[in-house]
């Protein structure tokens, strides 16, 4: 269910003016998560007792589509993020409603529901996918609650790369939050090899905020520019386009 809405963003959908809808709930527990208030009941009190989970305002789908319909000339698309949107049973119907308005849909996902991802691609309900790569496979356990999701993430990577290789939609990026406290250069190398042949890989610099789920783990200092540049140089051996978002 949608629990947050940003009417205009220039940063969420590459190259487009988009609105952003946040979907409640997530099956991962990334220590650097900035959206910890919408992951699900009790998360903050366990991980960050200083930060109380405030009341969440839920939206009816029609509130969002009504707004989008009235701004179609100003907005190119909608970014659906979270939380983890693919856990929401209403995702496909909602994306279909947005597509019916003639707008483009971007999906942000942790890749844990490959069947939903594939169905959305097959039914042309998504134009751009941004999929998180949390860590090399041996370290995924630090970010997830169910070990079974590792195989799901691997399947989602393959789905996106296979669709792209066969010339089909959607456009996509893989993206990793980077900080020297969270991942070492050997981890960056392993992820680069895993994603070898991918179209686009985005390295996002970790930034602290009071909402971060586990600041003890991540620290309060931002990722150093040097580490980002070294990471970029390493993974550019494997992936054609590397972008840094800091």
Secondary structure, 3-state, the chain:
CEEEEEEEECCCCCCCCEEEEEECCCCECCCCCCCHHHCCCCHHHHHCCCCCCCCCCCCCHHHHHHHHHHCCCCCCEEEEEECCHHHCCCHHHHHHHHHHCCCEEEEEECCCCHHHHHHHHHCCCCCEEEEECCCCHHHHHHCECCCCHHHHHHHHHHHHHHHHHCCCCCEEEEEEEECCCCCCHHHHHHHHHHCCCCCEEEEEECCCCCCCCCHHHHCCCCCCHHHHHHHHHHHCCCCCEEEEEC
Q: Using CA atoms, how far apart are residues 65 and 101, in angstroms rounded to an integer? A: 8
Q: How many positions of this chain bind ligand SF4 (CB under 6 A)?
A: 12
Evaluate whether 104 touches 128 at the Cβ level (below 8 Å): yes
CB of 130 to ligand SF4, least distance (A): 11
Evaluate whether 143 touches 102 at the Cβ level (below 8 Å): no
Among 20, 86, 110, 152, binds ligand SF4 (CB under 6 A): 110
Among 1, 14, 35, 67, binds ligand SF4 (CB under 6 A): 35
CB of 84 to ligand SF4, least distance (A): 5
Residues 123-182 close enough to bind ligand SF4 by CB under 6 A = 132
Among 21, 30, 91, 215, binds ligand SF4 (CB under 6 A): 30
Binding mask 44-83 for ligand SF4 (x = CB under 6 A): --------------------------------------xx
Among 2, 33, 157, 159, binds ligand SF4 (CB under 6 A): 33
Identify which of residues 104 and 134 has a Cβ nearer to ligand SF4 in the complex.
Answer: 134
Among 16, 23, 26, 223, binds ligand SF4 (CB under 6 A): 26
Helices 225-235, 185-194: inter-axial angle, 10-degree rounding:
30
Q: Using CA atoms, how far apart are residues 121 and 144, in angstroms rounded to an integer? A: 25
Identify which of residues 109 and 164 has a Cβ nearer to ligand SF4 in the complex.
Answer: 109
CB of 104 to ligand SF4, least distance (A): 22
Identify which of residues 29 and 200 has a Cβ nearer to ligand SF4 in the complex.
Answer: 29
CB of 32 to ligand SF4, least distance (A): 7
Residues 82-101 close enough to bind ligand SF4 by CB under 6 A = 82-84
Region near ligand SF4 per CB under 6 A, out of 24-32, 152-160, 190-198, 231-239: 24-32
Identify which of residues 99 and 156 has a Cβ nearer to ligand SF4 in the complex.
Answer: 156
Residues comprising the chain, all counted: 246
| β-bridge partners, 200 | 241
Interface with ligand SF4, residue 29, by CB under 6 A: yes
Contact positions toward ligand SF4, by CB under 6 A? Answer: 26, 28-30, 33, 35, 39, 82-84, 110, 132
């Amino acid at each position: 269910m949608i629990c947050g809405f940003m009417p205009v963003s220039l940063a969420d959908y590459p190259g487009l003016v988009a609105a952003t809808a946040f979907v409640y709930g997530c099956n991962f527990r990334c220590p650097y998560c900035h959206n910890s208030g919408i992951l699900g009941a009790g998360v903050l009190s366990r991980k960050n007792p200083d930060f109380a989970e405030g009341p969440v305002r839920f939206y009816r789908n029609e509130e969002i589509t009504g707004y989008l319909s009235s701004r179609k000339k100003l907005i190119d698309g909608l970014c659906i993020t979270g939380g983890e949107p693919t856990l929401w049973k209403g995702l496909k119907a909602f994306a279909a409603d947005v597509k019916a308005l003639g707008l483009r849909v971007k999906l942000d996902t942790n890749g844990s529901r490959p069947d939903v991802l594939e169905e959305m691609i097959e039914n042309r309900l998504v134009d751009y996918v941004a999929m998180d790569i949390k860590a090399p496979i041996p370290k995924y356990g630090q970010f997830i609650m169910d070990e079974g999701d590792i195989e799901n993430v691997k399947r989602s990577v393959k789905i996106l790369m296979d669709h792209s290789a066969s010339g089909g939609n959607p456009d996509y990026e893989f993206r990793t939050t980077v900080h020297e406290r969270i991942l070492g250069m050997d981890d960056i190398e392993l992820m680069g090899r895993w994603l070898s042949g991918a179209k686009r890989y985005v390295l996002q610099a970790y930034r602290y905020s009071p909402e971060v789920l586990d600041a003890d783990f991540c620290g309060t200092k931002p990722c150093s520019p040097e580490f980002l540049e070294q990471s970029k140089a390493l993974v550019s051996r494997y992936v054609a386009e590397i972008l840094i978002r800091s």
